[in-house]
Amino acid sequence: MTTVEKTFFLNRIARPYFAHLQAHRDSLLARIYGVYSVRIAGHEDVHMMLMANTLQVTPDRVQHVFDLKGSTVDRMVK
């Protein structure tokens, strides 16, 4: 995630997102466990969002899987 995305999430989305999950414990929204930044000398910071696996069903019940991150590179699944 970019610095702009991280800042936007933390400043605009995080509070209502977590309030929603508290109020709606059975929500199908993906669970976000945290947002982290890694700093390595000589490199730009890397920002990551740690999320729960959203595929909570058995494979025999899955008909289609979609990756909605935007890129079409190496995004094909069986």
pLDDT mean over 61-66: 72
How many angstroms separate the Cα of 28 from the Cα of each of 20, 32, 54, 55?
11, 12, 8, 10
Pick the more confident residue, 25 or 72.
25
The helix or strand, by DSSP H or E, that contains position 47, with its residue range, turns out to be: strand 46-51
Rounded Cα distance between 8 and 16, Å, is 13
Residue 28 has pLDDT above 90, yes or no: no
